[in-house]
């Protein structure tokens, strides 16, 4: 059996060497977008790899055409930069050619996409029940244990919270290798996640690998079955419109998605379909307006379309969850300053003490500079008082913390949402030892 599998793998590698990927970048045919066409030998997961490379460059997808019937894969993407301009930077264009056109770029397995080993930092994965003040407590624990958060992202959805963080040891500036310290970190973080509610599942994983953060967050929340928990307080007209019907003549299941467009939406849906073991044979994406439309002809990797009502509902729920996890509610704040141990803990504590909740956060460190993004709202659900933002900016530094967008645009209805509770402003105590149960309401 193993011999046969190895022979199949070698044959696939031989075919790829004989037919290396071909990348064509066209800046002439479309007046308002760069067209990127990728042709290659087909295999499961290749579509996600291509979309991931382009998404990591922060490209905006305005159109996409996908075809992978038979043994050949051909995708066409219309992309722009974040300002809506064509991609003209020669270094970026050269990177695309190398990243997508290299024969070695498409030889990894689906499970290892975006994963490499590293001794520069330690990866901490956290998942558990969402509740007020959770992030502030987690950051306080890491600071207490002399861990510096270099990069990370935190999502909340349907009363669950998930985070992937890259941390280093304060003294060495490198990955944490001491088994005893790793065990203490894992135990203390898990205690914070569990609180006093022993019935809720909480999980902490510590490793020295480099994981594609956003894909891993999707995988963690999918494995946690967050899609099964109904999101209270979310009306039907706010939910993405996802439909799955069978095209019996062609033996496909056709998935259609209509929702408000946003960056990285294509990655989120393709990532979810791939992790659910579905293959996209044909696809059409149109996102030139405020609404995005996606249509995919899919089959399961076993060759069959969706064949039961239960499976159809599961696909719909998982795609809805994938779209909702990254939705950013609140006022966008950007922090840029010299990185230091405890910075994230201090900032989230200040937010909490001023009754602000954070619906989502992205933490990045480059060349010693911390560049963090927070989406914040008022803990009571009312519009944010501008005086609170002014006060926070004065405390942190007006040149360090900047407001992006206008506060009225991000006003929330006066109701609480379970998505807010990861960074809730209800706890004024700085202690991370008070892990009492807090019920989420909507």
Residue 16: its pLDDT value, please?
A: 52
Spatial neighbors of 287 by CB under 8 A, at least 6 apart, are 60, 61, 62, 63, 261, 265, 266, 293
Q: pTM for the whole thing?
A: 0.82
Each residue's pLDDT tens digit, 15-71: 555 567 899 999 999 999 999 999 988 888 899 999 999 999 999 999 999 998 777
What was the pLDDT predicted at 186? 93
Give one DSSP letter per residue of 94-147, joined into a string: HHHHHHHH-GGGG-S-GGGTT-EE-SS-EEEEEEEE--TTHHHHHHHHHHHTTE
Q: Give the residue among 258, 270, 269, 389 at the shortest CA–CA distance from 332.
A: 389
Strand partners, 71: none
Distance (Å) of CA 257 to CA 41, 211, 215, 359: 27, 28, 20, 24
Q: Phi and psi dihedrals of 417, rounded to 5?
A: -125, 140
- DSSP of 223-275: HTTGGGS--TT--GGGS-EEEEEEETTTTEEEEEEEEE--TTHHHHHHHHHHH
Query: 265-275 vs 46-56: helix axis angle to the nearest 10?
Result: 150
CA distance 207 to 175: 9
What is the structure's pLDDT at 19?
A: 62
Whether residue 242 contacts residue 257, with contact meaning beta carbons closer than 8 Å, is answered with yes
Residue 417: per-residue pLDDT: 42
Q: What is the C-alpha to C-alpha distance for residues 126 and 107, in angstroms, rounded to an integer? A: 29
pLDDT tens sequence across 215-262: 999 999 999 999 986 555 555 557 899 999 999 999 999 999 999 999
Tens-place pLDDT, residues 177-194:
899 999 999 999 999 988
* Residue-level pLDDT at 88: 96
Spatial neighbors of 201 by CB under 8 A, at least 6 apart, are 128, 129, 224
Query: 79 pLDDT exceeds 70?
Result: yes
Instruction: Indicate the burial class of 108 (C-beta count within 10 angstroms; 0-12, 13-18, 19 or more).
Output: middle
Instruction: List, for residues 393-436, the tens digit of each pLDDT value.
Output: 999 999 999 998 764 444 444 444 444 444 443 333 333 333 33
């Amino acid at each position: 059996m193993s011999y046969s599998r190895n022979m199949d793998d070698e044959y696939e590698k031989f075919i790829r060497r004989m037919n290396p990927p071909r990348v064509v970048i066209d800046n002439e045919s479309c007046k308002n977008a760069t067209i990127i066409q990728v042709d290659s030998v087909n295999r499961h997961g290749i579509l996600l790899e291509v979309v991931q490379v382009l998404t990591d460059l922060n490209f905006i997808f305005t159109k996409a055409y996908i075809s992978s019937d038979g043994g050949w894969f051909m995708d066409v993407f219309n992309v722009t930069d974040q300002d809506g301009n064509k991609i003209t930077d020669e270094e970026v264009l050269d990177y695309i050619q190398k990243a997508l056109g290299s024969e070695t770029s498409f030889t990894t397995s689906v499970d290892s996409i975006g994963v490499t080993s590293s001794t520069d930092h330690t990866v901490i994965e956290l998942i558990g029940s969402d509740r007020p003040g959770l992030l502030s407590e987690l950051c306080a624990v890491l600071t207490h244990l002399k861990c510096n958060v270099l990069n990370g992202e935190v999502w909340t959805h349907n009363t669950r919270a998930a985070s992937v963080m890259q941390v280093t040891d304060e003294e060495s500036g490198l990955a944490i290798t001491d088994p005893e310290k790793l065990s203490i970190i894992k135990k203390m973080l898990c205690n914070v996640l569990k609180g006093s509610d022993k019935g809720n599942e909480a999980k902490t994983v510590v490793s020295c690998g480099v994981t594609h953060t956003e894909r891993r967050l999707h995988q963690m929340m999918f494995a946690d079955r967050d899609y099964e928990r109904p999101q209270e307080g979310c009306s039907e007209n706010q939910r993405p419109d996802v439909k799955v019907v069978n095209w019996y003549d062609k033996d496909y299941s056709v998935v259609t998605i209509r929702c408000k467009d946003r960056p990285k939406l294509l990655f989120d849906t393709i990532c979810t379909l791939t992790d659910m073991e579905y293959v996209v044979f044909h696809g059409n994406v149109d996102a030139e307006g405020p609404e995005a439309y996606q249509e995919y002809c899919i089959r399961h990797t076993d060759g069959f379309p969706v064949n039961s009502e239960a499976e159809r509902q599961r696909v719909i729920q998982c795609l809805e969850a994938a779209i909702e996890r990254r939705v950013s509610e609140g006022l966008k704040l950007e922090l840029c300053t010299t990185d230091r141990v405890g910075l994230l803990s201090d900032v989230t504590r200040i937010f909490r003490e001023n009754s602000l909740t954070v619906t989502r956060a992205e933490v990045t460190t480059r060349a010693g500079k911390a560049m963090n993004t927070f989406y914040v709202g008022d803990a009571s659900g009312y519009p944010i008082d501008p005086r609170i933002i002014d006060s926070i900016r004065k405390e942190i530094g007006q040149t360090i913390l900047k407001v992006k967008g206008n506060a009225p645009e991000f006003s929330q209805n006066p109701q609480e949402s379970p998505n807010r509770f990861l960074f809730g402003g209800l706890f004024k105590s700085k202690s991370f030892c008070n892990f009492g149960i807090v019920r989420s309401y909507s």
